Amino acid sequence: MTASASNAIAVTKVLGGLARDERGRLLSILIGKFRDFQLAEDVLQDAMVSAVSHWGRNGLPKSPQAWLLKVAYRKAIDRIRRKQTVDRAETDLFMMMDEVSGLEENEDIPDERLRLIFTCCHPVLETKSRMALTLRTLGGLTTGEIARAFLDRETTMGQRLSRAKAKLGGAGISYEVPGPEQWAERLDAVLGVVYLIFTTGLSAPEDDQRGLAHEAIFLCNILNKLRPDDPEIEGCLALLTLNYARRAARFDGEGARVAFLDQDRALWKSSELQDGISLVETALARRKLGPYQIKAAIAACHCEGASPDWAQILLLYDELLVFEPTDVVRLNRAVALAEIGALHEALELIAVLEPDLSDYQPLYAAKAELLYRAGNLGKAHSVYAKAITLAQAKADRLFLEHRARRCVREQS
């Protein structure tokens, strides 16, 4: 192999790592400076293209990140200059150039990703747009990858991303981390986006979607690094880690979802489970309880022993209801109640919830399972049939069909 070919491979490897690990950090600085998502993405991509030839000829700079940032600044300024002729604008551009004149000698560039995360997850955007924009800017996924993950066409996802960027720019959203008075509410929105990305990925056996679960953990790790010692961030990361550790056992060979109690524990990643449990313990020790910590504790109670600690899980759901008094939490609590022997009481609670959760497939799946355990196979079969009509994911539909056939077999 020639020296030039070897150098080209080295450059490509470095750029690949930077694109994955530093893209969000560099974008956060560029967006903060120019307040333009699309401009920031375009000039950073241009800078990476320039790096291929420049680094190939001259070798790697002392700080590749600072080199990319400086070149991206210059390219952004060139683009803006072509559009602006006002003297004050020119002065502002020269001031921007002064700010980056020494970047190549300074390896410690700022990390403003926390600002970017809160901007991408701003309440002015609808939930799906928050998810897509976060994956694009911080996760580094391409528009095509995001579209496949959400089962959209690439053109449709591209339009969604463009509208989201334009809306943030047009709404004059401040590019900053919220203050103490807004922190809890805004952090909850951010963690909600991360968790939705995770569950979208974890609930599907398809590779394009399952990659989203890994991206969500990557994003939550960024949050934990940028805002250390926050118990709710730690709780969210613990929750993701504990659930992700069971990924290999979640689907059977046909792609059907496997119920928790039927999963092969030998397929669980024990080291990841321990990491998740340690995170839960660290978060709870801070004595500032929140919903993600409780959900993580529930996940830990499912995994720690030879079987789930349902009595403790029931108590934790009671605690979670204080923070999230929703029908979904009440449904999960009813399932835990059934697991400690109060089967008929659980069915009564589900009957109360049913009118308000009439389109919620998990309610009918839970109701059918409890009816089956109560020996009412005919009723269980009909409720499974209802759940099947509401199942959106193939994995859930296959699972429910298996359960429904079980009822038929045992009736005959």
CA separation (Å) from 230 to 6, 283, 284? 44, 8, 11
Identify whether 171 is part of a domain.
no
Identify whether 307 is part of a domain.
no
What are the tens digits of pLDDT across the range 83-96?
A: 765 444 554 556 66
- H/E segment holding residue 91: helix 87-100
Q: Using alpha carbons only, how large is the chain's radius of gyration in Å?
A: 25
Other beta carbons within 10 angstroms of residue 349's beta carbon come to 18
Report the distance separating Cα 247 and Cα 244, nearest Å. Answer: 5
Q: What is the CATH number of the domain that holds 368?
A: 1.25.40
SS3 251: strand
* Locus of tokens 């995170």: 279
Domain termination residue (choose one: 53, 84, 105): 105
Identify whether 255 is part of a domain.
no
Q: Which amino acid is at 105?
A: E
**pLDDT score for 88:** 44
Checking if the pLDDT of 259 tops 90, the result is yes
- The string of DSSP codes covering 101-139 is TTGGG-------HHHHHHHHT-TTS-HHHHHHHHHHHTS
278 CB-contact burial (10 Å; exposed 0-12 / middle 13-18 / buried 19+): middle
Identify whether 23 is part of a domain.
yes
Segments forming the whole domain that contains residue 366: 344-412
Q: How many angstroms separate the first and last alpha carbons of the chain?
A: 71
Report the distance separating Cα 245 and Cα 88, nearest Å. Answer: 55
Report the distance separating Cα 227 and Cα 191, nearest Å. Answer: 13
Contact 138, 31 (CB under 8 A): no
Contact 137, 125 (CB under 8 A): no
Checking if the pLDDT of 105 tops 50, the result is no
Lowest mean pLDDT segment, chosen from 267-276, 279-288, 391-400: 391-400
Identify whether 363 is part of a domain.
yes
How many domains does the structure of the chain reveal? 2
Q: Band of the pLDDT at 104, cuts 50, 70, 90?
A: low
* Locus of tokens 């397929």: 267
SS3 173: coil
Lowest mean pLDDT segment, chosen from 158-167, 170-179, 261-270: 170-179
Quick one: CA torsion of 192, 194, 197, 198, rounded to 10 degrees? Answer: -100
Closest to 30 measured CA to CA, from 153, 116, 89, 140:
116
Instruction: Name the average pLDDT for the chain.
Output: 89
What are the tens digits of pLDDT across the range 172-211?
A: 888 888 888 888 889 999 999 999 899 988 887 665 566 7
Contact 243, 303 (CB under 8 A): no
pTM of the model: 0.84
SS3 175: coil
Instruction: Please list the alpha-helical segments (H only) found in 150-286.
Output: 154-170, 180-202, 207-226, 231-244, 270-284
**pLDDT score for 348:** 98
Domain termination residue (choose one: 105, 121, 156): 105
What are the tens digits of pLDDT across the range 383-411?
A: 999 999 999 889 999 999 999 999 999 98
What are the tens digits of pLDDT across the range 343-386?
A: 999 999 999 999 999 999 999 999 999 999 999 999 999 999 99
Domain termination residue (choose one: 50, 73, 105): 105
Report the distance separating Cα 211 and Cα 197, nearest Å. Answer: 10
Identify whether 331 is part of a domain.
no
Identify whether 48 is part of a domain.
yes
Identify whether 351 is part of a domain.
yes
- H/E segment holding residue 329: helix 327-339
Q: What is the 3-state secondary structure (H, E, C) of 32-86?
A: HHHCCHHHHHHHHHHHHHHHHHHHHHHCCCCCHHHHHHHHHHHHHHHHHHHHCCC
Checking if the pLDDT of 100 tops 80, the result is no
